[in-house]
Amino acid sequence: MSEIIVALEKVSYKYPRSLDFVLKNIDLTIQKGEFFGVIGPTGAGKTTLCLTMNAVVPQFYGGRFFGHVFVAGLDTLDYPISLLANRVGAVFDDPETQLIATSVENEIAFALENLLVPREEILKRIPHALAAVRLEGTEKKHPAELSGGQKQRLAIAAALAVQPDLLVLDEPTSQLDPVGSQEVFATVRELNKELGMTIIMSSHAAEEMAEYCDRVALLSNGELAAVGKPEEIYSQIERLLANDLRPPQVASTFYLIQQTGIPTGAIPVRMEEGSRYLKEVEEVCTIYPPKDIRQARVHTSEPVLSIKDLKHVYPDGTEALHGVSMDIREGEYVLIIGQNGAGKSTLVKHFLNLLKPTSGSVKVGGVETANLTVSQLARRIGYVAQNPDNQIFNATVGEEVAFALKALKYPPEEVESRTLEGLAAMGLSNVREIHPLALPKGDRARVVIAAILAMKPEMIIFDEPTTGQDYRGAKYILEISRQLHEMGKTIVVITHHLYLMPDYAERVLVMGKGTLLMDAPIREAYHAVELLQSTYLMPPQAVLLAQELGNLTNQSLPKLLTPEELASCFHYSHNGRTP
C-alpha cells in the first residue's frame, strides 16, 4: 500500500476580513511519489490550497482555519514554516516575490546554504538546476537582468536544487514560452520519477497537465468538485467549460467529432492517444475540407507604424534586435510571438519610444518617433500592460479615464466628452464614481482601455494580456481586443498562448533571437511547425492533428487551426462511409 505524504482533513479557510471561505471542507489524500495536479477557475482556491502545504496558510496570513493538513506525518499547525521548508519546496506564480540574491547562482545557493548543504554539493547542484530550466550561462547575472520568464525559471531552479520530499508549484509556467513550459513539466516529471519527489502543481496548462499528472483535482468555488486520473477529468468537456476551464485541444476535437454522431470511443486527452484515435476514426469516415473557414484579410492601407533595419544594443552589450524591418498597417490585427528573450518586448518599447534605436528607424504615421513627444505618441498608440493594476492610480473610474486628457490640457468640455465616449465604449458608464480597484480584474482592464480610447489612438498594443488568466479571463480580454478591432483600431497582441488567437489575429510576426523569422498570415505561420519550434514555440494541438490528418488521407487540406475546423472535416453515415 502506498504511503500517504499529504492528507487534508475537513479543511476550511477564510482570509482575515474576508466574508467568504476560500476553502470549504476539503478532504484529500496524496500518495508519496505522485504528480498531482490542481485545476480550477480563478478564485476557486487553488493558490490557497497550495499555501496550506507549507503552513503559509494559516501561519503567515492568519484568518480562520478549520481541520488539519498533514505533510509527511507532520501537522502543519504544530510546526513552523521554517521547519517545513526542509520537506516542502514551493514555487509561486510571481517570481519577484521569491528572488532576493544578487546573482543567479547565489539565488540557487541561498536556500541550500540555509539548509547547511555542504559547499561541494551546492556547487554540483547549481549547474544541474540551471540546465533543467535552460538558464545555463546566466550564473553571474543579477536576477533583475532576467526577463519575466527567466525569473520564473530561476525560482523553479532554486526550489528544485533543494530536492525536497514535496514540491508545490502554483502556476509555475505562466510566464514561460510553450516549449519552456513543456521542458519544465518534463523536468519536474523526471524529478518525480527518478527521485521519488512528490509534485503538487496548479496550472491552467491543460495539455501539459493531461500529459504529466497522475491524478487531477478540480476545485470549484472552494470545494473539491472532482478527483481522478487526467483521462477522467479532462474528458468531461462540458464540466470543464462550465467551470471556465479549457480542455486540451485533442479532447475538444474528439468531443466535437463525437457530437456529430461519429463513434470515437473514449475521448483522448493526450496527443499520442489522439493520433491513434484519429487513424481509427478516419478509417470509417469520409474526409473533406470545411466549406467556410475564416481567412485573414489583406490590408493595403497606409502603415501606422514602419520599422526599417532596427538594431538595438543594451548598455551591457546585449544585442537584442538585429536589423528588424516591417510595416503594420491601419486596421490590421497582428500577433507577435517568440520565445522569452526573442526581442518582442524590446521591439514594442521602440514603438512607444521607450527605447531609442541603436541604428535604423521607427516611424509612426510617417514621422520618426525620435521627433515625437510622449504625448504625441500617446495620441497615436495605446499600450495595455500585462497587469492592468500597474496602470491605475486614480480614486474613481471617471478620474482614471480623464487623467491623461487633463494632463495634456485638453479643454474641459473635450475632456468630459472623450471621457464619456471611453466609458460608454467599454460599458463602464454606470461605474464612473467607483474606485477602479473595487472592480473585478477584467473590468479593471476595461478601465485602462477606456482611458486609452479617450486618447483616440490608431493602434492599441496588448502586452501578454492572457498571462496568469484562466480561460474565461483570457477570452474576456481578447473579446475586448476584437471589439476594438471592429471599431477600426489597429491591434497588436504579444502572447505565448497560440491556441487562443486563431479567432482573432490575421497576421503573425515570429521573433527569434532578435530577428524577424517570419511575417505571414496566421494559417501559414501556425503550420510552419519547424520554424516555430526553432524559437521554442509549439503550434496548438489542433494544428498538429490537422497535419496528421492530411498525411493519413493524402489530401491537401487547408491549413486548419482549431478543433472546430478539424472536427468539421469528418463525415459519417451509420451504414458506412458517406458517399
Task: Assess if residue 161 is contained within a domain.
Answer: yes
Let me know whether 404 and 509 are in one domain.
yes
Let me know whether 429 and 333 are in one domain.
yes
Tell me the percentage of the chain whose pLDDT exceeds 70.
Answer: 98
> Who contacts 421 (Cβ-Cβ below 8 Å, separation ≥6)?
453, 454
**Cβ neighbours, 10 Å, residue 407:** 10
Let me know whether 160 and 72 are in one domain.
yes
- For residue 575, pLDDT over 70 is answered with no
> Who contacts 224 (Cβ-Cβ below 8 Å, separation ≥6)?
26, 27, 28, 217, 218
Range 18-24 average pLDDT: 93
Total domains, the chain:
3
Question: Residue 579 — pLDDT band, cuts 50, 70, 90?
Answer: very low
Question: Residue 554 — pLDDT band, cuts 50, 70, 90?
Answer: confident
**Cβ neighbours, 10 Å, residue 286:** 15
pLDDT at 200: 97
Domain end residue (candidates: 222, 243, 264): 243
Lowest mean pLDDT among 185-194, 269-278, 336-345, 416-425: 185-194
Let me know whether 475 and 512 are in one domain.
yes
pLDDT at 178: 75
Question: Residue 334 — pLDDT band, cuts 50, 70, 90?
Answer: very high
Helix (H, G, I), strand (E, B) or coil at 152: helix
Instruction: Output the nine-digit C-alpha cell for 178.
Output: 510553450
Let me know whether 449 and 314 are in one domain.
yes
pLDDT at 573: 66
Report the distance separating Cα 160 and Cα 172, nearest Å: 12
Range 559-568 average pLDDT: 95
pLDDT at 292: 82
Residues 54-102 pLDDT 10s: 999 999 999 999 999 999 999 999 999 988 988 899 988 777 778 889 9
Report the distance separating Cα 203 and Cα 538, nearest Å: 18
pLDDT at 578: 42
Task: Assess if residue 576 is contained within a domain.
Answer: no
Task: Assess if residue 533 is contained within a domain.
Answer: no
Higher pLDDT, 360 or 185: 360
Let me know whether 332 and 465 are in one domain.
yes
Let me know whether 316 and 267 are in one domain.
no
Annotate 20-46 with b (16+ C-beta within 10 A) or e (fewer): ebbbbebebebeebbbbbbbbbbbbbb
Residues 409-441 pLDDT 10s: 899 999 999 999 999 988 899 999 999 888 877
**Cβ neighbours, 10 Å, residue 158:** 26
Range 227-252 average pLDDT: 96
Let me know whether 239 and 260 are in one domain.
no
Task: Assess if residue 532 is contained within a domain.
Answer: no
Let me know whether 211 and 257 are in one domain.
no
pLDDT at 148: 64
Task: Assess if residue 92 is contained within a domain.
Answer: yes
Let me know whether 211 and 321 are in one domain.
no
Task: Assess if residue 27 is contained within a domain.
Answer: yes
What pairs with residue 7 in β-bridges?
29, 70
- Range(s) of the domain holding residue 165: 4-243
Instruction: Output the nine-digit C-alpha cell for 346.
Output: 524590446
Range 306-328 average pLDDT: 94
Task: Assess if residue 534 is contained within a domain.
Answer: no
CATH code of 100's domain: 3.40.50.300
- For residue 13, pLDDT over 70 is answered with yes
Range 4-13 average pLDDT: 97
Let me know whether 30 and 117 are in one domain.
yes
102: which DSSP letter?
A: S
Q: Count each helix (H run) and each strand (E run) in the chain, helices first.
A: 22, 22
Mean pLDDT of the chain, nearest integer: 90
- For residue 147, pLDDT over 80 is answered with no
Task: Assess if residue 314 is contained within a domain.
Answer: yes
Let me know whether 322 and 424 are in one domain.
yes
- For residue 1, pLDDT over 50 is answered with no
CB-based contact 153:184 (threshold 8 Å): yes
Range 218-243 average pLDDT: 96
